[in-house]
């Protein structure tokens, strides 16, 4: 995982800043702050992120392909252009039944 932010004031074509890697999930950080972060992620077909629970809301937006997002065991099939908010403290898994790219935005403020 790369934790260096992207260059600021530079125009980005978001689907082009990350590539697919065979049999892998690749994460590239766009912004990383104490109050949250934005990352772009690519999943090769058959890959997934194991079930986890975050203390913060997470906004997932599919920018290429199709993903299966499980939130508290309920499946959501998302296609390019679709998004979902994973509520804080919810069990979630992200699966690639086919390869896809997404943007993940985590907001860490407002929970005080």
pLDDT digits (tens, 9 = 90+) for 80-103: 999 999 999 999 999 999 999 999
pTM, entire model = 0.89
The answer to whether residues 100 and 62 touch, using CB atoms and an 8 Å cutoff, is yes
- DSSP code string of 26-44: EEEEEEEETTEEEEEEEE-
Tens digit of each residue's pLDDT (9 = 90 or more) over 69-80:
999 999 999 999
Helix, strand, coil shares, percent, the chain, to 5: 5, 55, 45
Q: Would you give the end-to-end CA distance of the chain in angstroms?
A: 29
């Amino acid at each position: 995982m790369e934790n260096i932010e992207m260059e600021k004031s530079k125009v980005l074509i978001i689907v082009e800043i990350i590539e697919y890697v065979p049999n892998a999930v690749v994460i590239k950080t766009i912004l990383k702050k104490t109050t949250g972060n934005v990352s772009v992620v690519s999943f090769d077909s058959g890959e997934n992120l194991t079930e986890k629970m975050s203390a913060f809301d997470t906004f997932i937006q599919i920018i290429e392909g199709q993903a299966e997002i499980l939130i508290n065991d309920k499946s959501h099939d998302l296609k390019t252009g679709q998004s979902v908010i994973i509520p804080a403290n919810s069990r979630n898994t992200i699966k690639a039944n086919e390869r896809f790219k997404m943007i993940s935005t985590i907001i860490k403020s407002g929970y005080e």
